[in-house]
């Protein structure tokens, strides 16, 4: 099972290239990368109609983009798309304009959203967003940089406790007391999200749907990415039925409530005085975020 999952996810990752027609969905460990669209609200630095025209041209008719709405006066771009938020942001920023994701929503009434700011060993960092599309479906959209190329287990853990970094996050979120499994298995931990795949550049960009994750149940818990591939409970190792034998915990973040569409009017962060555009050029958390220490590289997510 583990070998077939790895081959499948590598293929899916290789086919997700921004600006090309090579977008695909693939079943990997009984999970399908979703093609369901979501609405993404971006703040984009624009001053004139020609700016808007360039942004519109970068987005329209691209595979996976359904609609584009631009308000120059508010410096807002609303995109309905089946691409990851990082892919849409890259298309916007290919025009030379900076973009910041302010909100995410579904095509129908939203049931809540959350975000985990991931940080860990070395330069590993990323952002993963959760959008509850309906009572039974949660969209998970994320990008994590700094990983070793290849598959990495991804799980929701019980505790939102980072006092000992990822070691204090507790075990996989498993309220039903079940055996570890894959995302498509009926016998699995609720927190079992399978594998994400980092490309040669160390970036894993993914967009998944899950039927057991509920945003209201995971807010306040943590998301953890592991060093190795999750065998989905099929590996025969003593840890297969507990953790998928996916190795040490590399990076983690607390899952916090986040803004839906048009719910984030923020222009400056009250906690540290970082403006919207300064924040775009700083790390997502930790050293280098405050004005007093701006030497660390930007997250660019």
Computed on alpha carbons and rounded to an integer, the radius of gyration of the chain in Å comes to 19
Alpha-carbon span 27 to 264, nearest angstrom: 35
38-105: which CATH topology?
A: Alpha-Beta Plaits (3.30.70)
CATH 3.30.70.100 domain position(s) in the chain? 38-105
110-257: which CATH topology?
A: Immunoglobulin-like (2.60.40)
Contact indicator for 155, 163 with CB cutoff of 8 Å:
no
Torsion of CA 181, 183, 187, 189, to 10 degrees: 70
As a residue count, the chain comes to 301
For residue 136, count CB atoms less than 10 angstroms from its CB and return exposed for 0-12, middle for 13-18, buried for 19 or more: exposed
What integer pLDDT is reported at residue 121 of this predicted model? 83
What is the 8-class DSSP label of residue 159? -
Q: H or E element: which one contains 100?
A: strand 99-105
pLDDT per residue, tens digit, the chain (301 aa), is 444 444 444 444 444 443 333 333 333 444 446 788 999 999 999 989 999 999 999 999 899 999 999 999 999 999 999 999 999 999 999 999 999 898 888 877 768 899 999 999 889 999 999 999 988 899 999 999 999 999 999 999 999 999 999 999 999 999 999 999 999 999 999 999 999 999 999 999 999 999 999 999 999 999 999 999 999 999 989 999 999 999 999 999 999 998 777 666 655 444 444 445 555 555 554 455 454 444 433 333 3
Contact indicator for 251, 196 with CB cutoff of 8 Å:
no
What integer pLDDT is reported at residue 190 of this predicted model? 96
CA separation, residue 85 to residues 82, 143, 175, 215 (Å): 9, 8, 30, 18
What integer pLDDT is reported at residue 19 of this predicted model? 35
CATH 2.60.40.200 domain position(s) in the chain? 110-257
């Amino acid at each position: 099972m583990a070998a077939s999952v790895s081959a499948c996810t590598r293929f899916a990752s290789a086919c997700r290239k921004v600006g090309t027609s090579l977008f695909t969905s693939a079943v990997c460990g009984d999970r399908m990368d979703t093609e369901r669209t979501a609405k993404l609200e971006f703040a984009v630095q624009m001053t004139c109609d020609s700016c808007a025209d360039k942004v519109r041209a970068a987005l329209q008719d691209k595979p996976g983009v359904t609609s584009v709405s631009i308000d120059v006066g508010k410096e807002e771009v609303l995109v309905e798309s089946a691409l990851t938020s990082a892919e849409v942001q890259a298309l916007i920023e290919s025009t030379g304009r900076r973009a910041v994701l302010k909100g995410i929503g579904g095509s129908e009434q939203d049931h809540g959203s959350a975000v985990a700011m991931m940080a860990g060993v070395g330069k590993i960092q990323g952002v993963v967003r959760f959008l509850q599309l309906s009572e039974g479906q949660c969209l998970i959209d994320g990008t994590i940089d700094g990983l070793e190329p290849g598959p990495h287990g991804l799980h929701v853990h019980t505790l939102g406790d980072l006092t000992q970094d990822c070691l204090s996050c507790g075990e996989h979120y498993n309220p039903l007391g079940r055996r570890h499994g894959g995302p498509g298995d009926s016998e699995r931990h609720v927190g079992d999200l399978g594998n994400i795949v980092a490309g040669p550049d160390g970036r894993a960009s993914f967009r998944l749907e899950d039927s057991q994750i509920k945003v209201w149940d995971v807010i306040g818990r943590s998301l953890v990415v592991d060093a190795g591939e999750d065998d989905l409970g099929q590996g025969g190792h003593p840890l297969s039925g507990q953790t998928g034998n996916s190795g040490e915990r590399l990076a983690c973040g607390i899952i916090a409530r986040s803004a839906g569409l048009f719910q984030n009017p923020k222009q400056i962060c009250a906690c540290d005085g970082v403006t919207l555009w300064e924040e775009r050029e700083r790390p997502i958390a930790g050293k280098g975020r405050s004005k007093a220490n701006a030497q660390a590289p930007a997250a660019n997510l």
